[in-house]
DNA sequence: CTACTTATAGTTTATTTGACAACAAGTTTA
DNA sequence: TAAACTTGTTGTCAAATAAACTATAAGTAG
């Protein structure tokens, strides 16, 4: 099967052979105003015109699945350095009404502030939805989203991936609210603080929050290097 | 693409349309003599003749991926009620030398005693290997195995799935050794016992181990019904 | 200067974990 | 038949962790 693509450098239309009957769909998570959000696209053509679904695409014959997912993300959001991980393959025979298509689900964690969504040429519109205000999704995308949330909840407790949703510099309260939102729990501020600082993953900055009408909190930064060194020493992140 | 299958009831050869360029490969775990094992098959034909790999197969156009994995397991081992879970899709462009093929990995946990391996018509031979004595595996099957082990380690700590590797009736020591082997740690007998019994997942039987040359241990049984009820009440298995 | 809000530090109690001793119930050996 | 041995099972205790809550600090707004 041959599909149209936009060449990165020239911007021109080019054709590539893609895998048959296999697609990619990606749950893109963002975090803003204390709420977890997902980027959805509105289909501009085909049988599901006007309906919302996860951004997706084809896999070129010559690229790995992971590369395809990265490319998809870049085409849609201009984002380059995001946290991206495969969920699994979804393949109920009737998941796509017109044909037998298996899709490979991914989820991404992005820093919302850093990037602008650009509607790709396969989507007439794209926007962020709070995860508890999602519209009905096409095909089995609801199922994929549900699975991704489960996966995210698990992952966030076993690896320091939450930072991918926050700005470079953040306060401990922001971090805590992120955990509260993802895990759907209430946490105790002093205890959370202690627990996290004890791991020594965060680099405290000589800088404070700005523009708040109360005592400004200290800003912190997650340092992947420190984490790497700690894991090499046998440290195991756990929340 | 059309492939040959053996009809379950008649035993005759039948033809089915299968998905193109997508396969399934399954890591089948067993447990015996305190050791974790994996069932491998030796390829009887094709470019990898004589080499060992994970059992795999095609996905019929009309069946779900999960069904295909179940069918594969049944064809190979006559096993029906096994624990089976998808890992993820593996799709490096060069993973299969002759063509671009994406494979969907699964892992299964089986009670070794209950079933006999029968060499399927796609494998000239099949046998169990201890996980630290595996031969080199074809294609990316080594990678798939490694991933499955990681997944199993994680899963076994978050859900009571280990029982799928043990006989119906087992002693607490057997269970502990299973955990020790999977997680690659040493555990304290009294503490393990307490921890596990406290969860009240196990039904103690009025029966004891037989044929041992020392005090016989009490036999226990895992009761999925109890587990189900507990989870409904908000219980969360954790080890 | 006072009220208010959030940050941050400290305290105290309950719970869990880990290490280990002690005893019980069988088997083997002498 | 008794002692030695092996593994099962129960009990104890100190240390570490987690949870709940109090107190104080630092800033803003009126």
Residue with tokens 């119906």: B168
pLDDT less than 70: residues of chain A: 117-124
Residues in chain A with CB shorter than 8 Å from the CB of B154 are: 158
DSSP strand pairing (A102-109 vs A13-32): parallel
Q: Return all residues near A57 (Cβ < 8 A) that are at least 6 apart.
A: A23, A24, A68, A71, A72, A75, A122
- In this predicted structure, the answer to whether residue B121 has a pLDDT above a threshold of 60 is no
Burial B13-27 (b: 16+ CB within 10 A, else e): eeebebbbbbbbbbb
The residue that minimises its CA distance to C1' of D26 is A215
List residues, Cβ < 7 Å, touching strand D: A 188, 190-191, 195, 212-216; B 171-173, 189-191, 193-194, 214-218
In this predicted structure, what is the pLDDT of residue B72?
A: 93
- Sign of the four-CA dihedral B72, B78, B84, B90: negative
CA angle A112, A115, A129 (to 5 degrees): 45
Q: In Å, how far from its chain's centre is CA A35? A: 14
Question: B198 falls in which pLDDT band (50, 70, 90)?
Answer: very high
In this predicted structure, what is the pLDDT of residue A224?
A: 95
Give the three-class secondary structure for B54: coil
DSSP E strand boundaries for A120-228: 123-130, 169-170, 202-208, 218-222
DSSP A71-129: HHHHHHH---S-EEEEEEEE--TTSSTTS--EEEEEEEE--GGG------TTEEEEEEE
Domains of chain A: 2-156 (3.90.79.10), 161-232 (1.10.10.10)
In this predicted structure, what is the pLDDT of residue B238?
A: 95
Furthest-apart CA pair in chain A: how many Å?
Answer: 60
Q: Give which of A106, A12, A19 is closest to A56, Cα–Cα.
A: A106
In this predicted structure, what is the pLDDT of residue B10?
A: 87
In this predicted structure, what is the pLDDT of residue A217?
A: 97
C-beta neighbour count of B137 within 10 angstroms: 21
The reported pTM is 0.95
Size of interface A-B (CB pairs under 8 A): 59
Kindly report the bases of strand D lying within 7 A of a protein C-beta atom: 5-12, 18-22, 25-29
Residue with tokens 């379950």: B8
Which residues of A fall below an 8 Å CB-CB distance to B? 19-22, 59, 61-66, 86-93, 100, 102, 104, 154, 158
DSSP strand pairing (B83-90 vs B218-222): unpaired
Contact B104 A87 (CB under 8 A): no
d(C-alpha A36, C-alpha A182), whole Å: 7
Residues in chain B with CB shorter than 8 Å from the CB of A19 are: 21, 100, 102
Q: In Å, how far from its chain's centre is CA B140? A: 18
How far, CA to CA in Å, does B60 sit from each of A88, A111, B4, B121?
19, 41, 11, 17
DSSP strand pairing (A2-6 vs A13-32): antiparallel
pLDDT digits (tens, 9 = 90+) for B94-116: 999 999 999 999 999 999 988 77
Contact B102 A19 (CB under 8 A): yes
Burial A108-128 (b: 16+ CB within 10 A, else e): bbbbbeebebeebebbeebee
How far, CA to CA in Å, does B42 sit from each of A197, A229, B99?
52, 41, 21
Question: B120 falls in which pLDDT band (50, 70, 90)?
Answer: low
How much of chain B, in percent, has pLDDT values that exceed 90? 83
Give the three-class secondary structure for A65: helix
* Residues of chain B by 3-state class (helix, strand, coil), percent to 5: 30, 35, 35
- H helix or E strand, kind and range, residue B66: helix B65-77
If 0-12 CB within 10 Å is exposed, 13-18 middle and 19+ buried, where does residue A147 land? middle
Backbone angles phi, psi at B39, to 5 degrees: -90, 120
In this predicted structure, what is the pLDDT of residue A124?
A: 63
Kindly report the bases of strand C lying within 7 A of a protein C-beta atom: 4-11, 17-21, 24-28
Nearest to A86 among B65, B89, B93 (CB): B89
């Amino acid at each position: 099967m041959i599909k149209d693509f936009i060449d990165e450098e020239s911007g021109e239309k080019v054709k590539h052979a893609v895998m048959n009957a296999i697609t990619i769909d990606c749950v893109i998570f963002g975090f803003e105003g204390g709420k977890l959000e997902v980027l959805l696209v509105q289909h501009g053509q085909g049988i599901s015109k006007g309906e919302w679904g996860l951004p997706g695409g084809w896999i070129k014959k010559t690229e790995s699945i992971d590369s395809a997912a990265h490319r998809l993300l870049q085409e849609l959001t201009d984002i380059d350095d995001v946290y991206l991980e495969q969920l699994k393959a979804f393949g109920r025979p009737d998941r796509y009404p017109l044909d037998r298509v298996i899709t490979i689900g991914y989820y991404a964690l992005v820093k919302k502030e850093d990037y602008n969504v650009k509607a790709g040429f396969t989507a007439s519109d794209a926007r962020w939805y709070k995860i508890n205000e999602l519209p009905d999704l096409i095909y089995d995308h609801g199922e994929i989203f549900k699975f991704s949330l489960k996966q995210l909840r698990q992952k966030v407790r076993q690896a320091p991936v939450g930072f991918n949703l926050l700005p470079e510099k953040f306060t401990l309260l922001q971090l805590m609210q992120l955990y509260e939102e993802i895990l759907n729990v209430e946490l105790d501020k002093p205890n959370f603080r202690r627990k996290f600082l004890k791991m020594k993953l965060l680099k405290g900055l000589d800088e404070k929050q700005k523009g708040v009408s109360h005592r400004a909190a200290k800003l912190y930064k997650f340092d992947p290097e420190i984490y790497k060194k700690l894991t090499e020493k046998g440290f195991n992140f756990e929340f």
